[in-house]
Structure 1
Amino acid sequence: MDTWEQTLGAGPLLGIAAGAIALILVLVIVFKLHAFLTLVLVSIVTALVAGIPVSGVVDTLLDGFGGTLASVALLVGLGAMLGRLVETSGGAKSLADTMVRVFGEKRAPFALGVASLIMGFPIFFDAGLVVMLPVIFAVARRMNSPVLAYGIPAAGAFSVMHVFLPPHPGPIAASEFYDAQVGFVLLVGLIIALPTWYVTGYLLGRYFGKKFPLSVPDILSGGKMADEQPANPAGSGVVIAILLIPMILIFGNTGSSMLASAGAVDAESTVVQVLSFLGETPVALLLTTLVALWALGTRRGVGGSALEKTVEGALGPICSVVLITGAGGMFGGVLRTSGIGDALADSMSNLGLPVIVGCFVVAAVLRVAQGSATVALTTAAALMAPAVAAGGFNEFQLATIVIATAAGSVIASHVNDSGFWLVGRLMGMDVATTLKTWTVNQTAIAVMGFALAWVLFGVTAGLG
């Protein structure tokens, strides 16, 4: 594999990618083959057809599968345990009742979305979503409403924050490639992210709730009656305090890292090192789960064996989610190794488009081809950096170009994106429904985000 080079051109590689995606959809939707088996099978076939040496096929599969699980399995597992504790303690229902009472029944989806926007500033998309799931489900049950009316506004909020705003890795990497100041990127990102969420997350989520009236899945309740409350349910204040723990820890990590990068503090100091360690997402979720075991279990008089059974029961239902998500990463890894993304990027970067449009298009093509938003964003930024540097743009314009590239990197989430499977399975959707909802949501985020970035690019042309 070290000496292997792809000899196929962009045309054949694009055909292979399109055929592989079509095969996945046919096997899952038409023949009802399990998504995990489908993704593994099609990954192998795609690798062979794309010319990856037989001796390297298994290693390619395992690299893609393991790389995805490394970032997803810990987060989903710990998040599921935390979610089960919040659910079974009665805390999720208590918080749902409080939110409905404070904000009103009609504003509950908006309130969930705003809470997710706040949590999504320091927390990565997948971690934030699994932490918020018990509250999302509880509010939907409390209102006897479709889960998507509440799930899409919350998931969309985490998505726009992850895509557009530092300190998330995508916009930070693009800022470095384009030599853009992070402060300007943060300002422009907020200007674009908030209205984009309102339209594509909140309003579109309400529409999806009516069009696809899916009931709340029992992935956290383990099949128990959702409205069964314990004798002494946890209060909403306790739940809010617990949910703030990972946010504070992760923000401590990202904040200290940004200060260290700016030279305001010593990156090697003990305080920065401790904050960085405690703010790593798996560590932050582990500590939060341990606190939840005490606050939602032991403190309420629930014994050790009962608690052990509670968190153990959280893992079974999410095994399918983890495996399918890993297999989605495996398929994306095969597409990346085959060179499909590189071939498309090389051909797209020479189209003669305006720079901001070219950045969006290259990132979008890479996203559709290989699935990973982070890979699409960083690769597109690296490819387009010389053109951006030659443009003589001011700081505001550079920030809008970062956002435009980020917008392209999130478009059209589909079967080669591990996040597609994560959201679909956690919210109880089949593949067809996930394509009609989550894929549309991500595409709407990309299009609206790019449109706003392009407008700001023109408006700020005369500055600086």
Structure 2
Amino acid sequence: MPGMLLAAQDDLVLADRPTGLLVAIAVAAIALLLVLIIKVRLHAFFSLAVVSILTALAGGIGIGDVVDVVVEGFSSTVGEVALLVGFGAVLGRLVEVSGGAQVLSDRMLRTFGERKAPLALAVASLFYAFPIFLDAGFIVMLPIIYTVARRLGGSFMLYVLPSIGAFLMMHALTPPHPGPTAAATVMGADVGLVVLVALLVGLPTWYLAGYRLSLVIARRYPNMPVPNLLGEPEDTDEDERPGFGVIIFCLLLPLVLIFFNTLLTTLTETGALDQENVFFRLSELVGATPIALLITALVAMWLLYVRPRSGRAVGGVLEDLVDKALAPVCSIILITGAGGAFGEVLTATGIGGLVAGGLDEAGLPVILAGFLVAVAFRVAQGSATVAATTAGSIMAPAVAELGLSGIALAAIVVAITAGSITFSHVNDSGFWLIGRFCGFDTLTTLKTWTVIATATGFCGFGLSWLVFAIAA
């Protein structure tokens, strides 16, 4: 992806702008965006579109290229997100409407107790987030979080923020998520050691910055209601509710399919399996996250809704259920795409590269420089994956010159990925996706999602530096 971005930039007509002016333009653009959304109350989709165009013009992108850059950022983001969100929303709605979320919440509360419900949701999210992308996994977890929050009462924040913290840590630090995997690859680190260090660093990071901090933040929002973004809750007769094992099967199915692809891809990269192997080819199809969610949603329609209601006509009802699940997410998809367009504009102006290049040449300790370079790219263009991959590419020559390997190199990779999750704001598509699904306004998203992400990044960096100091 970084290569595609750089190639696209080479074809642009860019006016020369001093580094200081470009940074000032980026800061002014973000400030204007926040004013339009928070003060003027202009819809986020329109605000992002207007500011993206103005920023492109001010940043030196030629008039003839502005629309192409905006459309490229929008379409690439929507292309990745729309299928995940659409299939994930339908699956989540099925889990809720079928009574499956109620079955899971009952079992969870009996096992852990009501007082430990936030911790139970966070631990479940940790396991669920390991092989599956943040946006898809979180959407599938939402109906369970909704149901527990409605049943126990109190602020919705108390239940959703610990889960967000778990997904953030896993997405930021651990392979097989794309950012850590790509950074490890370009820096020549052993992916297995990166997983080991990531968990060693990530679990205490999650507990401190993802769980404990979430509980502190939740106390500031004692009356946050549970949103209805997957549709209005419905009561389901107990005899029509699916069994606990059926629900677990539906939730684990996408994980199994995705991990199937990850495992066989790893085997082919190590030479243990031929790329023409029929199972590897099959895994490339069914293990792709959108296809895994599509298969799971279709299976869930039968197992969770049609089969328990055998003898009753459910075709039209099921179609209506899907419509109700998809309707609320259309706005989220558009806003997310517009966030991607804004990030693409900032990337095309070269702001992140200019700042990162200066950090790389500043003579800082290599692990600190890698972290700050990742932060610079994250703030400038929004994508944690691009930030981790690009920062890894920039730091690879310095790391190779020092001859670092093993645990020390893995610690640097984790430090870079920690930087890639910090300071999420309005140019990050995840900022809009998670915020809107939680029913947060922009300011609330900054005070919750952004704070937890930044705390996760800095805590993960501090612990990875400690591991590096011991191993180097």
With the shorter chain as reference, the TM-score category is over 0.9
Partner of 1:366: 377
Counterparts of 1:357-436 in structure 2, within 5 Å, are 357-436=368-447
Give the deviation of 1:394 after TM superposition. Answer: 3.3
Deviates most, 92-101 or 395-404: 92-101
Paired residue for 2:3?
A: none
**Does 1:91 pair with 2:107?**
no
The aligned amino acid for 1:216 is: V
Whole-Å separation in 2 of the counterparts to 1:183 and 1:314 = 39
The residue number in structure 2 matching 1:440 is 451
Whether contact under 8 Å (2:92, 2:139) holds in the other structure is yes
Gaps of 5+ in 2: 1-8
Partner of 1:76: 85
* Structure 2 match to 1:204: 213
The answer as to whether partners of 1:9 and 1:343 remain within 8 angstroms in 2 is no
Q: Does residue 1:65 correspond to 2:74, yes or no?
A: yes
Moved more, 379-388 or 201-210: 201-210
Corresponding residue of 1:284: 292
Q: 2:278 aligns with which of 270, 273, 280?
A: 270
| CA deviation string 1:65-124 (max 9, x = no partner) | 001001111111111111111111111112111111111112111111111111111101
Runs of 4+ in 1 over 3 A off after TM superposition: none
Letter in 2 for 1:228: D
SS of alignment partner, residue 129 of structure 1: helix
Corresponding residue for residue 179 of structure 1? 188
- 1:230 aligned onto 2:231: no
* Distance in 2 separating the partners of 1:112 and 1:161: 15
Is residue 149–residue 207 contact of structure 1 (8 Å, CA) maintained in 2? no
CA contact (8 A) 1:88 1:230 kept: no
Answer whether contact 2:183 2:388 (CA < 8 A) is retained. Answer: yes
Q: Of the candidates 452, 455, 463, which is equivalent to residue 466 of structure 2?
A: 455
Which residue of 1 is the match for residue 153 of structure 2?
144
Residue from 333, 351, 358 that aligns with 1:340: 351
Matched, 1:295 2:303: yes
Provide Cα deviations, 1:317-347, integer angstroms capped at 9, x if missing partner.
Answer: 1111111111111100111111111111222
Asked if 1:259 corresponds to 2:270, the answer is: no
Which string of whole-angstrom CA distances, capped at 9 and with x for unpartnered residues, describes residues 273-313 of structure 1?
Answer: 11221110010000000011101111021611111110111
- Of 76-85 and 263-272, more deviation after overlay is shown by 263-272
Q: Does the CA contact (< 8 Å) of 1:404 and 1:454 recur in 2?
A: yes
Residues 339-361 of structure 1: CA distance to partner in whole angstroms, max 9, x if unpaired? Answer: 11111122221111000000001
Match of 1:297, SS state, is: helix
Match of 1:215 among 220, 225, 233: 225
Contact 2:12 2:61 in 1 (8 A): no
Partner in structure 2 of residue 36 of structure 1: 45
Could you tell which deviates more after superposition, 72-81 or 153-162?
A: 153-162
2:287 alignment partner AA:
G
1:230-249 equivalent positions in 2, closer than 5 A: 230=237, 232-249=240-257
How far did residue 227 of structure 1 move?
6.1
Letter in 1 for 2:83: L
d(CA) in 2 for partners of 1:241, 1:107 = 24
1:241-270 CA-partner distances (Å, limit 9, x unpaired): 100000100010111111111122222200
Q: Which residue of 1 aligns with 2:140?
A: 131
Cα distance in 2 for residues equivalent to 1:148 and 1:72? 24
Structure 1 counterpart SS, 2:195: helix
How far apart in 2 are the matches of 1:352 and 1:190? 29
* 1:4 equivalent among 9, 13, 17: 13
1:141–1:227: structure 2 CA closer, same or farther, 3 Å change rule? farther
Could you tell me which residue of structure 2 aligns to residue 100 of structure 1? 109
Whole-angstrom CA distance in 2 between matches of 1:190 and 1:9: 42
Report the counterpart of residue 318 of structure 1 in structure 2.
329
Match of 1:329 among 324, 327, 340: 340
Q: When the two structures are superposed, what TM-score results if normalisation uses the length of structure 1?
A: 0.96
Tell me, yes or no, if the aligned pair for 1:6 and 1:339 is still in contact at 8 Å: no
Q: Once the 2 structures are TM-superposed, how far is the Cα of residue 230 of structure 1 from its aligned partner?
A: 3.5
Following TM superposition, by how much is the alpha carbon of 1:401 offset from its aligned partner in structure 2, in angstroms? 0.2
Q: Please report how far the alpha carbon of residue 34 of structure 1 lies from its aligned counterpart in structure 2 after TM superposition.
A: 0.8
Cα contact 2:97–2:234 (8 A) shared by 1: no
Q: Give, in whole Å, the separation in 2 of the partners of 1:10 and 1:148.
A: 40
Q: Deviations over 1:163-184 (max 9, x none)?
A: 1111122112111222111111
Q: Which amino acid aligns with 1:230?
A: D
User: SS of the residue aligned with 2:114?
Assistant: coil
Please name the residue that 1:305 is paired with: 316
Amino acid at match of 2:47: T
One-letter amino acid of the counterpart of residue 72, structure 1: V
Identity of aligned residues (%): 52
Distance 1:451 1:347 in 2: 22
Q: Distance in 1 between matches of 2:137 and 2:12?
A: 40
Question: Is 2:173–2:198's contact at 8 Å kept on the other side of the alignment?
Answer: yes
Contact 2:209–2:452 (CA under 8 A) maintained in structure 1: yes
CA positional deviation for 1:6: 4.8
> Does the Cα contact within 8 Å between 1:184 and 1:395 map onto a contact in 2?
yes
**2:6 matched residue in structure 1:** none
**Aligned pairs, how many?**
458
**How many angstroms does 1:145 deviate by?**
2.6
How far off its partner does 1:3 sit? 5.3
* Paired amino acid for 1:381: G
Structure 1 residue runs of 5 or longer lacking an equivalent are none
State the TM-score, normalizing by the size of structure 2: 0.95
